[in-house]
Amino acid sequence: MEMNEDESHQQRARPRLDRFKRQWHKFSSNPLSLMGLAVVILLILAAILAKVVAPHPDHSGLFLDFSNANQAPSLRYLAGTDEYGRDILSRMLVGLRYSLGIGLLVLALSVPLGVLLGAIAGHYRHTWVDTAIMRSTDLFMAIPPLILALVVCAMFTPGYFFAALGIATAWWPWYTRLTYSLFTSLSNELYIKYAELGGATHWHIILKETLPNAVSPIFTKMSLDMGMIIIIASSMSFVGLGVQPPKPSLGSMVAEGMKYLPEYWWISVFPAMMVVLIVLGFNLLGDGLRDVFAIEEI
Amino acid sequence: MLPVCVERRKHLMRDTNKKILEVRDLKKQFKTRYGILTAVAGVTFQINEGEIYGIVGESGSGKTTVGSMITGMYKSDGGEILYKGQDINKPAVQRSRESKRAIQLVFQDPGGSLNPRQTIRQILSLPLLLHGRAKKGPALEDKIVQTIKKVGLPASYLDKYPQAIGGGEKQLVCIARALAPEPSFIVLDEPTSALDVSIQAKITNKLLELQKEFKLSYLFITHNLCLVRNLVHRTAIMYLGQLCEMASTEDFFTEPLHPYTKMLLSSIPVISEAEEKYKPITVRSIGEIPNPINRPTGCGFNTRCPFARDICKDREPEMIEVKDGHFVSCHLADT
Amino acid sequence: MVTETRLLEVENLHVFYEVYEGVLKVLNGTNLYVRRGEKVGLIGEAGCGKTTMLKGIARILPMPPAQIGDGRICFKGKDILDDEKEGVRMVRKGVSMIFQDPTASLNPTLTVRTLMSDVLKSEDPHMPKAKRNASMIEALERVAMPSAQRVLDSYSIQLSGGMRQRVCIAMALLKDVDLLLADEPTTSLDVTIEEQILDLLNDLVARSQKSMILVSHALGSVRKMTDRVYVMYAGDIAESGPTKDVFERPLHPYTRGLFEATPKLTGAGVSDGIAGEIPSYLEPPEGCRFSPRCPKGMQVCLEKKPPIFALNNRREVACYLYASNVGSIS
Amino acid sequence: MQNMALFILRRIGYGLLVLLSLSFVVLSFIRLIPGDPVRMSLGPTASEKVVREVRSELYLDRPIPVQYFYWLRGVLRHGDFGKSLFTHRAVSKDIAEFLPRSMELAACSALLILVFGVLLGTLSALFRDTWLDNLLRFFAYLGVVTPPYAIAIFFLLLFAFYWKFFPIGGMPAFPEELRVTGMLTFDALIEGRFPLFFDSLWHLILPAVSLSLGSIAYQARIHRSSMIDNINKDYISFARVVGVRKTTLTLKHLMKPSFIPTLTIFGLQVAALLGNAFLIEVIFRYPGFSRYSLQVIMTKDPYGIVAVTMVFGIVFALVNILLDVGVAWLDPRVRLQAPE
């Protein structure tokens, strides 16, 4: 009996891989989550290969062709053309690249900062550090996120990066609050108390003990937020505060199409549908992740 | 001739066996919105080398707070904690490396005290590295395998996550983790009350085995008197932050003196006729445990004590040694 | 005084839960009966199906995961399983239940007065307010509640554990029921408070000739309170009989192991418990569910589920060891 | 009740502190950015002297703390939020004119969110996993996923252009003599001018619905999961076993605890509502405060931006305080803070 125990111990089972298989099994059992994942992967591919896939790649830049302006959706122009005769489908694909880009950029700007501050405030709770950080998040959350984003973004010359910066300034406090609440509730877990008692370094407790347990809710929030951010970004480009013409952005395309309702309805409707598709994909994916991680918690 | 009470107090201090841990007049209060909550109001006891010392009490008696202060989880509001003569009455962070290694803790809830995101190997490696029992690399791996074998779990468990093993096995991992730094004193805070009867028996026997093998001393905190009867060498009983009675387990159960001990012993539901006869004359349980925020004056138990007299209401009783090694804190004890 | 008529009879009850990993076959043909005025105990370790049995009788099993297979539950002679609406109506009228955790049993957002008056209003909507108040105060005094008026106007978080359980008992006995189901009523209470609650339950049930099923994993409280006891293991009844008799001479190997593993006040040391782990309900072992852990396991135990052998003095045991001496006690 | 009053006072005090520091941050932020708003508003033709004059009149040439001091004194003494370079009149006048119109839209949408959110949530929770539940969850999902402006466009296409059921946008003219609270529908109602009341209500429905549809969907989802959580709780099965009638059980015992998370999320929704309103007002050409704040932000008008952030901050703080009081009333555990 003694011998084969050591043998089984030698060929080191990969615990992390087993856990991933179990999580994937739970994730894939829900068709909706799979659909969400498929849509997201499809969108990412479409964004990367936008120039290749788009029927008329040059339409996304400076291009005028009044002869077939405002064409209804046809075989040649699947989603019809806008007032300058540019193919809406190819502009949507390039616009998709900017929308996904801004979503990732905002997350890249707000998540690391928010999580770091939340972790520090949560770990050193009930000290001046905690009050300083959490009160400053109150400051940023005192007004609706969209207004703060507008104010910040309008400060600078309108552009893609500044739109992302604007949204990020309104978005990082949500992650600080989430991480703070996770860290404070995890702090009265017994294994954290044990690590503190044993004299583990603060760095070890934050990174090795508390953060791994906080990662899953943060990850779920990120994918759910992706949809929200894209909605806000497209709303801002609706009023001209995002990607500047002639570069296409879904929000501005919807805005331009407004003037031609209801005759040339497709100019607004198709970009709006694309936004809906993006947000749907990320939300389904986010719900799937939450179910997987929720089961993990119990 | 010294007055009686001083004579008795002197005897309290002198003790033949080598003391590993001594607690003198330990106090702890918590500030709450409704006033000051006195969790521990002056507790004094010693634990000898290689002894299992049990503290019994109901909820709100402060027994867990005493255990936490000994391991350094809270700062105390007064009194001393001497580990081999050296005062360590300060939070764990400020304690010397040696005392942090020497005193270890096992929690009640096995599920909650193991990090769900770490494998058992990672869990066990932390105490070994923290207390310098092994360096990173192959030496650490052997030490981990050796530690988990101490509690009788197969090495294949090292690659499992805590969720994948049963409640009893998780508690064994917690015990292994407490043994890793090769301590000499372990505080066990209700280690078996979250487990089923049959697994409880396994863990209790394993604790006894380890105690003999590594010559450890335990502070065993629980509300289960039957368990204390079978495991502990000396027993103390706490009520509302104060020690009521302290004696060798044999004396404690055969001749209980304090009314609260009698009430507790007679209230326990038992499963055999022999135990029924073993119980003291019944002291019926009346009233509720008072709110620790506005403690009754004098002896904490006077609101529920059938023998309470006026003296119990105004003066706090002193811990007196009625018989050899049998201390009781009650005005009526020595009549 | 226990009469012969059987108030409640559970025959061959099957209950299974559909969960994520598969189907948990918890109750696999379980039988149980309670006579009028009798106090019956149900002991076993956590997860052995005691609570499922109680909730099945009280018809509050959460139906989406839980499913009642075949089997009959006869209450006052009528099977409450076959006619859904009528069955539930009868149970609501004749059966009441208290839960383990009093804090979770009382709605945190409502005062005790609202909780109790809702029960009385549902019972008799036209009862005048004064009469309702009087019967609420009377119900609380019956459970020896100090300062009943103040308790009525407070929320459950303002009461201590013991007082909350008294409120639950008072609410459970507001309507005149024949059978009281108690699911580990004192597990979350301290020992001294536990004794008061057990004595209180004993008086209330004895005085009003009600029957009771007391479920607990604390063996002592069952021994103290009940006339007859069932020992359950992994969804099956291991053995049953008069409480004094079962506690003094346990027959089934599992019951023996359980009693030996329980630390005694007389301090004779603790046995090494029962080897192995509780089986999973996903693929329960063939034959007797205790066979993998049973020190006296025989070949037949592994193949066929042992029937219930009726010995004399109302003793029943589901173990092949006693197949030969049906009718007498070895 | 006494600690409830204390609770509110503390929250108001804290809210004021946050708003003051916010106003200082925003004011100094505007001063630091490049670009000269005065020159922009007066146009290139204005002479340098006039520009300098206007700038000193608005204290823009003074150091930031001094400018802030004068601004604060103006606000506290006679509610003067400074002059807007965009509308060339006192900002407080703009607020008085536009804010009530947005309040009307926001209040109407908030009402829709609460009523329909809770209604749909309860329905889909009670009829769990039936066709009704799945249908409601599908629409809830659609609502959450579609941005408000997309909903507005679809509604406009469907109801305004195609079926011509609702007006395309805008609002009926606001007769000056009717101005009481500044909310057209409300004033028309209390003045008894029913034709005007119905006309303005008719104009209000489409924007309000498209603004709140997404939030209704999310609110329904939250309420449904909170109801389902509570259905499985012990106190519901205990109440049922002890004999509480099914209707009382559902309406009182189940609804009250389930309302606690719903109310908290409702607070966040109303806050987000204030933010999202500006697009709806642009699409429906609705003369509201959000449209004004958009223009003010775009033209970098300093006092306009500060006033806008202040107004949104105050409304935001009021909404949060109201909801905290609501949650405290609902949940005695929060109110009584039992000693541990």
Bridge partner residues of B321 (DSSP): B327
- Name chain B's partners: 3 or more CB pairs within 8 A: A, C, D
Residue C313 lies in a domain: yes
CA-closest candidate to residue B47, choices B89, B69, B17, B5: B17
- Does the predicted interface ipTM exceed a cut of 0.90? no
Residues D165-195 have pLDDT tens digits of 777 777 777 777 667 777 777 777 777 777 8
Rg of chain C over CA atoms, in angstroms? Answer: 21
Name every residue whose Cβ is closer than 8 Å to that of residue D49 and which is 6 or more positions away in sequence: none
Residue with tokens 């109310």: D263
Neighbours of A228 (CB within 10 A): 22
Task: Report how far residue B7's alpha carbon sits from residue C198's, in angstroms, rounded to the nearest whole number.
Answer: 45
Nearest beta carbon to residue D242 from set C109, C158, C172: C172
Nearest beta carbon to residue A142 from set D18, D300, D305: D18
Q: How far is D274 from chain A (nearest CA, A)?
A: 7
Residues C217-255 have pLDDT tens digits of 888 889 888 999 999 988 889 999 999 999 988 988 899
Angle between helices A15-28 and A31-48 (to 10 degrees): 100
* DSSP secondary structure letter of residue A59: G
Question: In chain B, which residues have their Cβ closer than 8 Å to the Cβ of D340?
Answer: 32
- Three-state secondary structure call for residue A127: coil
Q: Rounded to the nearest 10 degrees, how much is the dihedral formed by the CA atoms of C161, C166, C171, C174?
A: 180
CA-closest candidate to residue C274, choices C287, C256, C299, C252: C256
Q: Which of residues 58-87 of C touch D (CB under 8 A)?
A: 58, 60, 62, 64
Residue C168 lies in a domain: no
What confidence tier does C127 reach under pLDDT thresholds 50, 70, 90? Answer: confident
Element (H, E) at D103: helix D91-126
CA-closest candidate to residue C252, choices C29, C44, C3: C44
Which stretch of A1-15, B114-128, B308-322, C260-274 has the lowest confidence by average pLDDT? A1-15
Neighbours of C114 (CB within 10 A): 17
Dihedral (CA of D282, D284, D286, D288) sign: negative
Per-residue pLDDT for chain A (298 aa), expressed as one digit of tens each?
Answer: 333 444 444 445 677 787 788 888 888 888 888 999 999 999 999 888 888 888 777 777 777 777 777 778 888 777 788 888 888 888 888 888 888 888 999 999 999 999 999 999 988 888 899 999 988 888 888 888 888 888 888 777 778 888 899 899 989 999 999 999 899 888 888 899 888 888 888 888 998 888 888 888 888 888 888 888 888 888 888 887 878 877 888 888 888 888 887 788 888 888 888 889 999 999 888 888 888 877 554 3
What's the Cα-to-Cα distance from D161 to each of A70, B264, D158, rounded to whole Å? 19, 82, 6
Task: Report how far residue D243's alpha carbon sits from residue B67's, in angstroms, rounded to the nearest whole number.
Answer: 45
CA-closest candidate to residue A194, choices B124, C2, C96: B124
CA-closest candidate to residue D117, choices D258, D249, D232: D258
Q: How far is D324 from chain B (nearest CA, A)?
A: 20
Q: Rounded to the nearest 10 degrees, how much is the dihedral formed by the CA atoms of A149, A154, A159, A161?
A: -40
Question: In chain B, which residues have their Cβ closer than 8 Å to the Cβ of C264?
Answer: 226, 229-230, 270-272, 274-275
Bridge partner residues of B24 (DSSP): B80
What's the Cα-to-Cα distance from B45 to each of B23, B41, B184, rounded to whole Å? 5, 13, 18
Structure tokens at C241: 């009989």
pLDDT above 50: residue C42: yes
- Which of D162, D215, D297, D316 to probe the A interface (max A CBs under 10 A)? D297
Angle between helices D255-283 and D302-330 (to 10 degrees): 160
Bridge partner residues of B235 (DSSP): B54, B247
Asked whether A298 and A26 are in contact (CB, 8 A), the reply is no
Beta-strand ranges (E) seen in chain B are: 19-32, 35-48, 52-57, 80-83, 86-87, 103-106, 185-189, 217-222, 234-239, 242-248, 320-323, 326-328
Rg of chain A over CA atoms, in angstroms? Answer: 24
Q: Inform me whether the C-beta atom of residue D163 falls under 8 Å from chain A C-beta atoms.
A: no
Residue with tokens 């103290």: C224
Domain of residue C16: give its range. 6-96+227-322
pLDDT top residue among A242 and C190: C190
Burial B23-54 (b: 16+ CB within 10 A, else e): bbebbbbeeeeeeebbbbbbbbbbbbebbbbb
Task: Report how far residue B152's alpha carbon sits from residue B173's, in angstroms, rounded to the nearest whole number.
Answer: 10
- Which of D234, D242, D250 to probe the C interface (max C CBs under 10 A)? D242
Query: What is the structure's pLDDT at A51?
Result: 81
A195/B105 Cβ within 8 A: no
Task: Give the residue from chain C lying closest to B264, CA to CA.
Answer: C192
Residue C21 lies in a domain: yes
C62/D232 Cβ within 8 A: yes
Asked whether C213 and C181 are in contact (CB, 8 A), the reply is yes
Neighbours of B209 (CB within 10 A): 13
- Three-state secondary structure call for residue B200: helix
Residue C210 lies in a domain: no
Residue with tokens 């994937």: A24
The pTM for the full model equals 0.84
- Which of B159, B171, B174, B185 to probe the A interface (max A CBs under 10 A)? B159
CA-closest candidate to residue D313, choices A145, A156, A110, A178: A145
How many Cα atoms occupy the beta-carbon half-sphere of B170 within 13 Å? 23
Question: In chain C, which residues have their Cβ closer than 8 Å to the Cβ of B227?
Answer: 263, 270
Q: What phi and psi values does residue C63 have, to the nearest 5 degrees? A: -65, -35
Task: Report how far residue A88's alpha carbon sits from residue A77's, in angstroms, rounded to the nearest whole number.
Answer: 8
Residues A171-199 have pLDDT tens digits of 999 999 999 989 988 888 889 988 888 88
Number of domains in chain C: 1
Task: Report how far residue C107's alpha carbon sits from residue C114's, in angstroms, rounded to the nearest whole number.
Answer: 10
Asked whether A160 and A242 are in contact (CB, 8 A), the reply is yes
**Beta strands B86-87 and B326-328: pairing type?**
unpaired
Residue C298 lies in a domain: yes
What's the Cα-to-Cα distance from D12 to each of D47, D95, D334, rounded to whole Å? 46, 22, 18
Q: Contacts for D166-170 with beta carbons within 8 Å, 24 or more apart?
A: D166/D202, D166/D203, D166/D205, D166/D206, D167/D202, D167/D203, D167/D206, D168/D284, D169/D203, D169/D206, D169/D207, D169/D283, D169/D284, D169/D285, D169/D286, D170/D203, D170/D284, D170/D285, D170/D286, D170/D287
**Beta strands C22-35 and C228-233: pairing type?**
unpaired
Cis amide linkage into residue B306, ω under 30° from 0: no
Task: Report how far residue C2's alpha carbon sits from residue C19's, in angstroms, rounded to the nearest whole number.
Answer: 41
Neighbours of D53 (CB within 10 A): 13
pLDDT top residue among A76 and C107: C107
Q: What phi and psi values does residue A65 have, to the nearest 5 degrees? A: -155, 75
- Three-state secondary structure call for residue C37: coil
B158/A198 Cβ within 8 A: no
Task: Report how far residue C15's alpha carbon sits from residue C70's, in angstroms, rounded to the nearest whole number.
Answer: 8
Asked whether C289 and C235 are in contact (CB, 8 A), the reply is yes
B224/C223 Cβ within 8 A: no
Query: What is the structure's pLDDT at A3?
Result: 39
Rg of chain B over CA atoms, in angstroms? Answer: 21
Over residues C145-150, the mean pLDDT reads: 87
D248/C122 Cβ within 8 A: yes
| Maximum mean pLDDT: which of A283-287, C79-83, C227-231, C256-260 | C227-231
CA-closest candidate to residue B106, choices B141, B64, B148: B64
- Three-state secondary structure call for residue C16: strand
Beta-strand ranges (E) seen in chain D are: none
CA-closest candidate to residue C96, choices D251, D231, D250, D237: D237
Question: In chain A, which residues have their Cβ closer than 8 Å to the Cβ of B73?
Answer: 193, 197
Asked whether C223 and B276 are in contact (CB, 8 A), the reply is no
pLDDT, mean of each 10-residue run, chain D (340 residues): 76 85 83 74 77 77 81 79 74 81 87 92 88 87 87 85 77 71 75 80 86 90 89 90 89 91 87 80 82 80 82 85 85 63
Q: Rounded to the nearest 10 degrees, how much is the dihedral formed by the CA atoms of B164, B165, B166, B169?
A: -160
* DSSP secondary structure letter of residue D176: G
Q: Inform me whether the C-beta atom of residue D339 falls under 8 Å from chain B C-beta atoms.
A: yes
Residues A30-88 have pLDDT tens digits of 888 899 999 999 999 988 888 888 877 777 777 777 777 777 888 877 778 888 888 88
How many residues appear in chain B?
Answer: 335
- Three-state secondary structure call for residue C320: helix
Q: What is the CATH number of the domain that holds C317?
A: 3.40.50.300
What's the Cα-to-Cα distance from B129 to each of A195, A200, B176, rounded to whole Å? 12, 10, 14
Residue C148 lies in a domain: no
Query: What is the structure's pLDDT at B220?
Result: 93
Task: Report how far residue A185's alpha carbon sits from residue A88's, in angstroms, rounded to the nearest whole number.
Answer: 49
Residue C307 lies in a domain: yes
B32/D340 Cβ within 8 A: yes
D337/B37 Cβ within 8 A: no
Beta-strand ranges (E) seen in A35-85 are: none
* DSSP secondary structure letter of residue A182: H
Beta-strand ranges (E) seen in C184-278 are: 211-216, 228-233, 236-242
Residue C233 lies in a domain: yes
Structure tokens at B332: 């009526």
Nearest beta carbon to residue D29 from set A145, A155, A275: A155
